[in-house]
Structure 1
Amino acid sequence: MSAEGAVSYELRERVAWIGLNRPLKRNAINDALLSELEAAVRRAQHDARALVVFGHGPCFCAGLDLAEHRAREAAEVFHHSRSWHAAFSVLRRGRIPAIAALHGATVGGGLELAAACHLRVADPSVFFALPEGQRGIYVGGGASVHVARLLGASRMMDMMLTGRVLDAAAAERAGLVNYLVEAGAAQDKAGELAAKVAAMAPLTVLGVLQALPRIQDMAEEDGLFVESMMAALAQTGPEAAARLADFVEKRGAKVTGPSET
């Protein structure tokens, strides 16, 4: 494992493990961490079939490192925000699924990072907040789009206007958390999910990661057209033919109920 600097990187079979590595700063994001994170995610796109983002130490990420925050002109703030968008876009628009394994504080920019991943696994210690409103600033790492789409604009308004904090159970009910697990089990569950999605057919993954988010922004007929195009591409590939044959000939696993898995 490469653990030097603000981000650690480890490749375990087909899964890249990317760790925020400023535990004494609660993994607060400064420019160095953001740069190393983007580089690690880019590396994972070539090394792996899935990636897990997690935090070393007591929490996932406490957000922007305000201790290193300095006064900026409006244009500088704009471009700094856009640098966060660019870094997180490598996660969102990359070729492999990204899973966030969450524990402890997942606040501000930490929540924005978690929202940039495709799936989120949380243990009961997790809490989510957007404290920017209480500090007289505004979110700048993509929350207005990505967190609001997960939670709904009304819930995000509540968090920003009142400082409301969501625990893991409330976040799961609101749709922010995909999996709620026992204490200390977030990384294990994230690894299990990453191994599962790493085994998926590449064309199916391409459709889920690249087509599905874009379809949400399309008019109904345009979205249905793209769905049909993606279905035609995926279902005529050689891997799909082999997997469908396995299912028809009873070599493939059947879908079972939640209590049976």
Structure 2
Amino acid sequence: MAALVEIEQDGELLFVKLNRPQKRNAVNDALILALEAVFSDMPDGVKCAVLHSEGDHFSAGLDLSELQERDIIEGLHHSRMWHRVLDKIQFGKVPVVAVLKGACVGGGLEIASACHIRVAEASTFYALPEGQRGIFVGGGASVRLPKLIGMARMADMMFTGRTISAEEGVWMGFSQYVTMAGEGLEKGIELAKRIAQNAPMTNYALMHVLPRIADSSQSEGLLMESLMATIAQSSPEAKQRLTDFLEGRAKKVGQ
């Protein structure tokens, strides 16, 4: 398992690298469970993770060469395993910046969509080939992707087998940033360092509370917002940061 996912800590950042380039980082059970191990046991001192990949592709999706014949219950448990693992990325201890390149397809796109910020190099392309293979997504795409790009666009991809380029993807919502080839990791590190400087309570709220507000009714969402705002501004770190700003020791917006 360690060979499939390599980790390296550099101060407050944890680098998590998919390491199956000979298979275009296609995801088998061992790789997905290796990701679970990493995000279940985050090293002390880490404030942001950068998920990237070895080789020319982020991930070509589920490794169909290792696809087993499963009955209905086994298939259900397999899908729920993916849900469990990707929830640990989305709702884990630290924000995750994904650096994408080449294929970000099927299960690879499901992994990327569980991250909080996505940086795509110009070579990146997105697809959901499950529709052309007679199957349906099972790793969370039907829940996460419509929130990023809209239900109609996801349905189009599955109905037609459409492939989305990096440039299309940034305005559609697949990624927040696009870089030139070879510059994605540098941009990902820049963003991760900025995120690591935030107050932990703010990052927690963005990871755990904001998605639930978005899924709530207006009245429930507004109540959660009020509770989270009160908790966040009551923390000693928030009070110190506000004092620093008022007394001119903090950067102003745009600086």
Q: Percent identity?
A: 46
| Residues 11 and 45, structure 2, Cα contact 8 Å, conserved in 1 | no
Amino acid at match of 1:126: T
Amino acid at match of 1:64: L
Q: CA deviation at 1:4?
A: 4.3
TM-score by length of structure 2 reads 0.97
Q: CA deviation at 1:44?
A: 2.4
Q: CA deviation at 1:47?
A: 4.7
User: 1:240 maps to what in 2?
Assistant: 238
Q: CA deviation at 1:95?
A: 1.9
Matched residue SS, 1:106:
strand
What's the CA shift string for 1:139-182, capped at 9, x where partnerless? Answer: 00000000111110000000000000000011111111111112
CA–CA distance in 2 between the matches of 1:100 and 1:211?
A: 21
What's the CA shift string for 1:108-132, capped at 9, x where partnerless? Answer: 0000000000110001100000000
Task: Find 2:61's aligned residue among 57, 60, 63.
Answer: 63
Amino acid at match of 1:247: F
User: 2:127 maps to what in 1?
Assistant: 129
What's the CA shift string for 1:46-90, capped at 9, x where partnerless? Answer: 451110111111100000000111211111111101000000000
User: 1:82 maps to what in 2?
Assistant: 80
Amino acid at match of 2:94: I
Task: Find 1:108's aligned residue among 106, 112, 121.
Answer: 106
| Residues 28 and 63, structure 2, Cα contact 8 Å, conserved in 1 | yes
Task: Find 1:97's aligned residue among 67, 76, 95.
Answer: 95
Count of aligned positions: 255
CA–CA distance in 2 between the matches of 1:70 and 1:226?
A: 43
Matched residue SS, 1:224:
helix
CA–CA distance in 2 between the matches of 1:29 and 1:146?
A: 18
| Residues 120 and 175, structure 2, Cα contact 8 Å, conserved in 1 | yes
CA–CA distance in 1 between the matches of 2:91 and 2:2?
A: 26
Q: How does 1:75-224 map to 2 (within 5 A)?
A: 75-224=73-222
| Residues 105 and 126, structure 2, Cα contact 8 Å, conserved in 1 | yes
**Correspondence 1:30 to 2:24:** no
CA–CA distance in 1 between the matches of 2:224 and 2:129?
A: 38
Task: Find 1:13's aligned residue among 11, 15, 38.
Answer: 11
Q: CA deviation at 1:212?
A: 0.3
| Residues 131 and 160, structure 1, Cα contact 8 Å, conserved in 2 | yes
TM-score by length of structure 1 reads 0.95
Q: CA deviation at 1:43?
A: 2.5
What's the CA shift string for 1:2-39, capped at 9, x where partnerless? Answer: x9411000001101110111010111100110111111
| Residues 45 and 96, structure 1, Cα contact 8 Å, conserved in 2 | no
Q: CA deviation at 1:251?
A: 1.0
User: 1:54 maps to what in 2?
Assistant: 52
- For structure 1, the 5+ residue unaligned runs are none
| Residues 9 and 17, structure 1, Cα contact 8 Å, conserved in 2 | yes
- For structure 2, the 5+ residue unaligned runs are none
Give the RMSD, CA atoms, in angstroms.
1.2
